[in-house]
């Protein structure tokens, strides 16, 4: 690092866009100015970042982040959650609506959006609730949220399923007016009452009530047909089973306008971890079987699953540590997502770095209709960029995370890759692996 930290021109010397040949990426006045031959770019007053060996990707976009504000600021705030996002290489996150109060009005989504702007670590796109109070009974004011300063385009009752088919149909119809999308938490409630982990032989052995795959698959099957029937756009949150992948594949072959996401943890971890009874592994939907993990990885590679989305779900120690049955479901994700993508998708040969950019930036930005994000790294585009060192391997230290919570399932585990720098419209939010 050299020259003044305030300069608005940055030269990322020797960066490898999408893992390709090295270039000098020049960021000026918030935009990518040029990709010059490596070692040649110079500009008066520019800050030069030594990016030798570093992969440059468009800033990551998360479709599924729980920032917990308002209401559970002891678990996370917009400030700490977006710090975690920037450190993970994200330049935009979608903030889920299951806050307290629920983000089901223009007032609440504008509050979250404004807090994101003030924090300045990444863009925050609030998700609006589909139903009032996530109650599953009456549609929330979707249009008012769409028209608000937060310009909401993604609506979800995540944490709860919109299980009433009539309400789901109406919601799908309603959001067509402003090109919105319903992001469904696919979980048939009656089939999952009291569920604690994946239903199978192991849940029987461990004596934990099972969450059967069919509870997810039945809702996805219904919803793709509803989306087709009303000609609307459906997004499926945190797909976790092989059977769900098969339904999504069929739906896409039929031309139904459906997209889907998978979490990093469902691409790496499986249900065998529940045998420890350590509630850090309790999550919704639950960790599944090894064959599900394989099918999910393959579906990301094929593009049947469009996006990797973190489902970053911070929980305070009092809610997460203790008995499995009483612990809240959820795991941290923002600061480890890119590392898991590298391990599960790149190092297995399933995706190259261009593929990672597509699934963690381009497609999620498109699904969320987020202008200015997920754009290619070329001249004239907004300078939302992440630099990652894929050669580093290091153990995850929960105490070093920016998140206010500590519920990472990767504590002590060695993961590949390190986010070295993140730029939001040409301004560094992370430099040398630390908040700028």
Buried b (16+ CB within 10 A) or exposed e, 89-103: bbbbbbbbbbbeebb
The stretch among 8-16, 80-88, 146-154, 327-335 that binds ligand NCD (CB under 6 A) is 327-335
Asked if residue 324 lies in contact with residue 282, where contact means CB atoms within 8 angstroms, the answer is: yes
> Any catalytic annotation for residue 311?
yes
Shortest distance, position 46 Cβ to ligand NCD, whole Å: 42
By three-state DSSP, how is residue 223 classified? Answer: helix
Strands (E), 181-237: 181-184, 197-198, 210-211, 234-236
Angle CA 293–296–298, to nearest 5:
110
Q: Which of 104, 123, 311, 319 is catalytic?
A: 311
Q: Is 329 annotated for ligand binding?
A: yes
Among 13, 16, 66, 265, binds ligand NCD (CB under 6 A): 66
| Residue 284 in contact with ligand NCD, rule: CB under 6 A | yes
User: Cis link prior to 285 (omega < 30° from 0)?
Assistant: yes
Compare residues 185 and 359 and give the one whose CB is closer to ligand NCD.
Answer: 185
Which region, judged by CB under 6 A, interacts with ligand NCD, from 6-14, 107-115, 147-155, 324-332?
324-332
Q: Contact between 236 and ligand NCD (CB under 6 A)?
A: no
Q: Which is nearer to ligand NCD, 98 or 336 (CB)?
A: 98
Binds ligand NCD by CB under 6 A, chosen from 91, 98, 342, 362: 98
* Best CA proximity match to 213, nearest among 127, 125, 287: 287
Q: Is 185 annotated as a binding residue?
A: yes
- Does 313 participate in binding ligand NCD (rule CB under 6 A)? yes
In the list 159, 210, 355, 364, the residue contacting ligand NCD (rule: CB under 6 A) is: 159
CB 341, CB 264: distance < 8 Å: yes
Check residue 131 for interaction with ligand NCD (CB under 6 A).
no
Burial tier of 77 (Cβ tally within 10 Å: 0-12, 13-18, 19+)? buried
Please give the size of the binding site for ligand NCD, defined by CB under 6 A: 12
- Choices 268-276, 326-334, 346-354, 399-407; region in contact with ligand NCD by CB under 6 A: 326-334
Per CB under 6 A, 361 contacts ligand NCD? no
Indicate the helix (H) or strand (E) that contains 270.
none
Check residue 158 for interaction with ligand NCD (CB under 6 A): yes
Distances from the Cα of 253 to the Cα of 172, 218, 232, angstroms: 20, 18, 16
Number of H helices, E strands in the chain: 13, 19
Is position 68 annotated in a ligand binding site?
yes
Distance CA 156, CA 103 (A): 10
Helices 106-119 and 78-87 sit at what angle, rounded to 10 degrees? 50
CB 216 within 8 A of CB 240: yes
* Residue number, 308 or 385, with CB nearest to ligand NCD: 308
Q: Least distance in Å: CB of 337 to ligand NCD? A: 14
The answer to whether 287 is a known ligand-binding residue is no
40 vs 326 by CB, closer to ligand NCD:
326
Binding-site residues from annotation for Zn(2+): 64, 66, 158, 185, 238, 311
Contact set with ligand NCD (CB under 6 A): 66, 98, 158-159, 185, 283-284, 311, 313, 328-330
């Amino acid at each position: 690092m050299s020259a003044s930290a305030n300069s608005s021109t940055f030269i990322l010397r020797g960066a490898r866009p999408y893992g390709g040949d090295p270039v000098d990426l020049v960021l000026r006045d918030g935009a990518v100015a040029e990709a010059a031959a490596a070692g040649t770019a110079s500009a008066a007053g520019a800050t030069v970042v030594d990016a030798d060996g570093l992969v440059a990707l468009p800033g990551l976009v998360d479709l599924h982040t729980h920032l917990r504000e308002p209401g559970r600021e002891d678990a996370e705030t917009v400030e700490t959650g977006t710090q975690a996002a920037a450190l993970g290489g994200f330049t935009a996150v979608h903030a889920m609506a299951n806050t307290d109060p629920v983000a089901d009005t223009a007032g609440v989504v504008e509050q979250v959006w404004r807090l994101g702007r003030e924090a300045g670590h990444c863009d925050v796109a609030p998700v609006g609730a589909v139903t009032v109070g996530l109650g599953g009974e009456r549609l929330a004011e979707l249009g008012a949220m769409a028209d608000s300063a937060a310009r909401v385009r993604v609506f979800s009752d995540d944490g709860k399923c919109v299980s009433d088919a009539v309400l789901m149909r109406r919601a799908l119809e309603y959001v067509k007016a402003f090109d919105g999308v319903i992001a469904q938490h696919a979980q048939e409630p009656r089939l999952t009452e009291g569920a604690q982990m994946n239903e199978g032989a192991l849940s029987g052995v461990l004596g934990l009530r099972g969450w059967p795959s069919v509870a997810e698959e039945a809702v996805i099957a219904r919803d793709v047909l509803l989306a087709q029937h009303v000609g609307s756009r459906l997004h499926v949150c945190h797909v976790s089973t092989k059977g769900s992948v098969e339904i999504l594949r069929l739906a896409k072959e039929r031309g139904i306008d459906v997209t889907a996401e998978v979490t990093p943890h469902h691409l790496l971890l499986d249900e065998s971890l529940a045998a420890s009874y350590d509630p850090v592994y309790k999550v919704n939907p639950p960790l599944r079987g090894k064959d599900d993990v394989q099918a999910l990885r393959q579906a990301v590679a094929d593009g049947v699953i469009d996006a990797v989305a973190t489902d970053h779900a911070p929980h305070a120690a009092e809610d997460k540590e203790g008995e499995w049955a009483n612990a809240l479901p959820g795991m941290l994700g923002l600061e480890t997502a890119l590392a898991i993508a590298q391990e599960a998708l790149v190092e297995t040969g399933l995706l190259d770095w261009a593929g990672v950019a597509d699934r963690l930036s381009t497609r999620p930005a498109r699904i969320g209709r987020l202008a200015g994000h997920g754009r290619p790294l070329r001249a004239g585009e907004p300078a939302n960029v992440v630099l990652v060192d894929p050669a580093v391997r290091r153990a995850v230290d929960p105490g070093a995370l920016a998140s206010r919570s500590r519920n990472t399932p990767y504590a002590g585990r060695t993961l590949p890759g390190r986010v070295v720098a993140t730029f939001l419209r040409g301004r560094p939010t992370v430099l040398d692996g630390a908040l700028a």
